[in-house]
Structure 1
């Protein structure tokens, strides 16, 4: 029983390391929906949010290399 609990804790630590960074795509979509709602054009807002998020992810990945 104790080994199973330790393995579970190790798995949680590994998952925390993987998901610790910010997902700029999600942030971009959230901002895109907000601006899309403000300008009454949700589709355009989401599209621009995704494009902005992907661009920020690309910049982030270049800095990490």
Structure 2
């Protein structure tokens, strides 16, 4: 699958600190084969479960089998 020019430019720009991924809050980023999405917003005072749910939705964490 070809990447859009915006995606290629964002992923290719490297700075002294490292590679830039997602230029701003509206840039879409996907992890581990998930559909790219914009950065989600969380409540001003998120609780632990809200953070876990957001990380699961992004595909960054999974729940271990019991």
Give the TM-score, by structure 1 length: 0.31
Task: Identify the structure with the greater strand proportion.
Answer: 2
Higher relative contact order (CA 8 A, sep 6+): 1
